[in-house]
A and B are shown apart, each in its own frame.
Chain A
Amino acid sequence: MATLVQVENLRKEFGNVCALAGVSFRVEAGEWIAIMGPSGSGKTTLINILGGLDMPTSGQAIVDAIDVGRLDESGLTRFRAQKIGFIFQQFHLVPYLTALENVMLAQYFHSSTDEKEAREALERVGLGDRVEHLPGKLSGGEQQRVAVARALINHPKLILADEPTGNLDEANEETVIQLFHELHREGHTILMVTHAPSIGRLADRRIAFAHGRLVEVPASLKTSL
């Protein structure tokens, strides 16, 4: 497999606070990586840098042969639109757009809209009958499935999911995790931040963080289900 993500001695400082203290690792294309660790350990900072939402203080974060730290603002915008599919804990859907329009919004920012393809994406996440619903009329699980459909619509190289099940009840968590399973089987590369060991164990590999550094993955997480 080819290396899709290469992180070399990555540092990120917010004033006097060091969020990432020289992190290095690689992710092969098609891998599902669980990024784990306590709050404030640097997981989300790493995801933000890999997704072009934040810039490293030093070191390299290379995604699909692009050094994210060297991109200017417009380059970062293109990078986010073309290479990355984001799934957030808070869903972050646009409240006045329907489920279908939320998916089409990502298409619009990428290139051009295709309603048929957007409908198919929603059908795929089991929301074929909810396409015209506003986010406020959908359950948390349904909103997160819309977010998954939105993340997938532009066929991104890398899916970055930050606590995607953190706001879901058990039933909805199961549905969303099932979707991640399917994405993984189809060959998508997934970096998922999670606190839940049960979800972490589903990934191919686990990367554990503490105080901005990679640490040894606890034994309890080493065995995949």
Chain B
Amino acid sequence: MFGRLVRESFVRNPRRKVLVAAALVVGMAVATSTLTIALEVGDRLAREFRSLGANLLVTPQADTLPIEIGGVDYRPVNEGAYLSETDLGKLKTIFWRHNILGFTPFLDVPATIQQSENSDPILAMIVGTWYAQNVSVPDGTSFKTGLSVTHPWWKVQGRWFHDDANECVIGSALAATMPGVTAGKVIYVTSRSPGDSAQGQPGTTQAIALKVVGIVSTDDAEDKALLVPLAIAQKLSGHPGQFRQLFVSALTKPADTFSERDPLKMTPTEYDRWFCSPYISSISFQIKTVLPGTDVRTIRRVADTEGRILSRVGTLLWIVTLAALGAAALAVAATSATTVLERRAEIGVMKALGATNSLIAGIFLAEQLLLAVAGGAIGFVVGAALARSLGASVFGTPASPRLILFPVILGIAAIVAFVGSLIPLRRASHFNPAPILRGE
């Protein structure tokens, strides 16, 4: 009988049902699209932000004491210890390995550059790095990384060097001081490694001929340097297989109060939650675990900007979602109030015959639930299409529908329908049948 009452009640007055369903469809469509985008926006924006550069800097722990002013690290990185290149594959074994988008080692070597064997030498910094290097990962796979991933905004005229060739890319400022140097020209680089006085090893002189293949603009100190494959810088410096700095580009979620807490003071549950969240602090911690003896620092200017923008975008999406849901709830409330008033006589008869308030509320709620399911399902489809279109226009690629959102949206629709019906139902439960039956 309950099903019959709900079914009959549901099919009656279809115009009003359509109005409720339409309100729910609009609300759920907006909620679906914003939630779909909210789920993707972190990844999408974080990937976009990665074009701003790496957000983590790994240096040898024994290097220097920290000098941080206003959140910016001013430690010099040109002296001290070295890190091993062979350990870098371990970065792709941490818990958040898939969030490590790329990393690039750097090794600076002071050297002299000559355009020909007889020309005047110019003192310059040689920066050894990777452009697109295949790194072996301990699980047997390989991972291609380098400047192409971590420093995509560095623009080169000509092309980048091959990591295994005697090639180089000259910084634009340095190239300006060497008028004859253009792409295709061979230059000569000479360096003197310091040796090890403690072990009685004398310094050695290394000279290498390199083919210039491009002129790079970085808007940074590298404009005054000569960029060479890491292996060549290692050879020039006399530190094979070693480097000084590692820039890591990692997808992270915005920092919050919890992420800033000291993991050593967390409870086991809090620690698990922190460890299993892609906070920049937890990823730094995991990197330090696989690269012992290192200091992992957040490049705060980048991370903080990302965090602020992600938080603001997230807040905006939530505000839009809540506004849409609130509007839907108000529409449901207005329509439900009218429906309850229209069916006042029917409610009065049912109460006179012995229907309990909960049973009458149940009939109306079941009806609203059916509308919520219908409105939620249609709203999900519309919202998924909307998200697809928004994703395409904002991020360049359409946002794929998230099926996991379907039950969530149905649940939200049910809650909205329930909340919207609360006041009318409360009113219905207070109907006194006597005056209704008298026709008052």
Chain A residues engaging chain B, CB cutoff 8 angstroms: 44, 48, 51, 53-54, 73-74, 77-78, 80-82, 86, 88, 90, 92-97, 101, 104-106, 108-110, 113, 150
Known A53-B433, A92-B437, A101-B4; contact A77-B12, beta-carbon cutoff 8 A? no
Q: Is the CB of B439 within 8 A of A92?
A: no
Chain B residues closer than 8 Å to A96, beta-carbon distance: 8-9, 12
Q: Is the CB of A109 within 8 A of B350?
A: yes
User: For the complex, would chain B's binding face be called helix, strand, loop or mixed by DSSP majority?
Assistant: helix
Selecting from B90-98, B285-293, B304-312, B354-362, the interface stretch reads B354-362
Known A80-B352, A81-B353, A110-B354; contact A105-B1, beta-carbon cutoff 8 A? yes
8 A-B residue pairings within 8 Å (CB atoms): A78-B354, A80-B351, A86-B352, A86-B353, A94-B346, A95-B346, A97-B5, A109-B350
- B interface size (C-beta, 8 A): 26
Shortest B363–chain A CB gap in Å is 11
Complex Cα spacing A212 to B357, Å: 31
Known A54-B434, A104-B1, A109-B350; contact A74-B9, beta-carbon cutoff 8 A? no
Complex Cα spacing A53 to B359, Å: 18
B 324-340 to A, binary, CB cutoff 8 A, 1 in contact else 0: 00000000000000000
Complex Cα spacing A73 to B433, Å: 12
Chain A residues closer than 8 Å to B8, beta-carbon distance: 96-97
Please pick, from B356, B432, B434, the residue contacting A77 in the complex, using a CB distance under 8 A.
B356
Chain A residues closer than 8 Å to B4, beta-carbon distance: 97, 101
Complex Cα spacing A115 to B153, Å: 79
Q: Is the CB of B354 within 8 A of A80?
A: yes
Asked if B349 lies at the interface with its beta carbon under 8 angstroms from chain A, I say yes
B 1-30 to A, binary, CB cutoff 8 A, 1 in contact else 0: 110110011001000000000000000000
Chain A residues closer than 8 Å to B346, beta-carbon distance: 94-95
Complex Cα spacing A94 to B348, Å: 11
Complex Cα spacing A172 to B8, Å: 29
Chain B residues engaging chain A, CB cutoff 8 angstroms: 1-2, 4-5, 8-9, 12, 345-346, 348-357, 359, 432-434, 437-439
Chain A residues closer than 8 Å to B345, beta-carbon distance: 92
Q: Is the CB of A77 within 8 A of B351?
A: yes
Complex Cα spacing A92 to B355, Å: 14
Chain A residues closer than 8 Å to B350, beta-carbon distance: 94, 105, 109
Q: Is the CB of A48 within 8 A of B9?
A: no
Shortest A155–chain B CB gap in Å is 13
Complex Cα spacing A143 to B439, Å: 18
Please pick, from A54, A88, A104, A106, the residue contacting B354 in the complex, using a CB distance under 8 A.
A106
Chain A residues closer than 8 Å to B434, beta-carbon distance: 48, 53-54
Please pick, from B9, B352, B356, B357, the residue contacting A92 in the complex, using a CB distance under 8 A.
B352
Shortest Cβ distance from A53 into B: residue: B434
Complex Cα spacing A136 to B12, Å: 15
Q: Is the CB of A92 within 8 A of B349?
A: yes
Shortest A177–chain B CB gap in Å is 22
Shortest B96–chain A CB gap in Å is 57
Shortest A173–chain B CB gap in Å is 21
Shortest A102–chain B CB gap in Å is 10
Chain A residues closer than 8 Å to B348, beta-carbon distance: 92
Complex Cα spacing A87 to B376, Å: 43
Interface centre among A81, A95, A96 (most CB of B within 10 A): A96
The 7 closest A-B pairs by CB, nearest first: A81-B354, A109-B354, A108-B1, A53-B434, A96-B8, A92-B349, A80-B354
Q: Is the CB of B355 within 8 A of A77?
A: yes
Chain A residues closer than 8 Å to B349, beta-carbon distance: 92-94
Complex Cα spacing A77 to B8, Å: 24
Please pick, from B9, B353, B438, the residue contacting A44 in the complex, using a CB distance under 8 A.
B438
Interface centre among B350, B351, B353 (most CB of A within 10 A): B353
Shortest Cβ distance from A110 into B: residue: B354
Shortest B347–chain A CB gap in Å is 10
